[in-house]
A = this chain, B = another copy of it.
């Protein structure tokens, strides 16, 4: 298949446009990653101001999605990209949707954090929540690294790790349900904690989607909805 030759065009202007749009994607990824970290920090450190900042900042991420989408359509219309350029544009169009939705989930965690802080709530499962959040943040950070480096092998490894996140989420979720049964008086608060755990699991799914788009971009193969454990031999 064709090589990844984003910077090999005779038009310097076209090169600059592709470079700009890649940078915008990576910048959006960095913003979303920060939002996620801060939403969790806000919850674990009872920092209401930080939660407010995350909620406010989500607007900036939404605006970024719209802007990048616009730039992508302009490049398609003006430059008629083919081969790896087209895959790059296509992958960007898909990735920003998932990034924006990771931003939405971070905002949800921040909103739940505000509620939990206002109720003065904390419980023994905050530690498990923190552990789950570390896995999710690590996967997202590594995904953004392989997006920057266009490293499909790394993206596949990360995508496979989503299984661990799902497993840890299930475990935490079962604990939380048990805790609800035993402490019905604090149910409303525990429900919020479970929503935030669910948001983490959802972020894991969006991160996996991004990994799949990286593989599509680099390898030209669409591995979505395939059994990820069998992919190595077939595609790499």
Instruction: Give A contacts to B, CB under 8 Å.
Output: 59, 62-63, 65-66, 69-70, 73, 76-77, 80-83, 86-87, 90, 93-94, 97, 177, 180-182, 184-185, 187-188, 191, 194, 222, 224-225
Closest to A188 in B: B177
Q: Could you tell me the distance in whole angstroms from the C-beta of A91 to the nearest C-beta in chain B? A: 10
Closest to A202 in B: B202
Would you call B90 and A224 a contact (CB within 8 A)?
Answer: no
Would you call B93 and A225 a contact (CB within 8 A)?
Answer: no
**Copies of this chain, tallied across the complex:** 2
Would you call B177 and A66 a contact (CB within 8 A)?
Answer: no
Closest 4 A-B residue pairs measured CB to CB? A62-B225, A80-B80, A184-B184, A181-B184
Would you call B94 and A222 a contact (CB within 8 A)?
Answer: no
Would you call B191 and A65 a contact (CB within 8 A)?
Answer: no
Closest to A80 in B: B80
A181–B184 CA distance with the chains assembled, in angstroms: 5
Would you call A82 and B86 a contact (CB within 8 A)?
Answer: no
A180–B66 CA distance with the chains assembled, in angstroms: 41
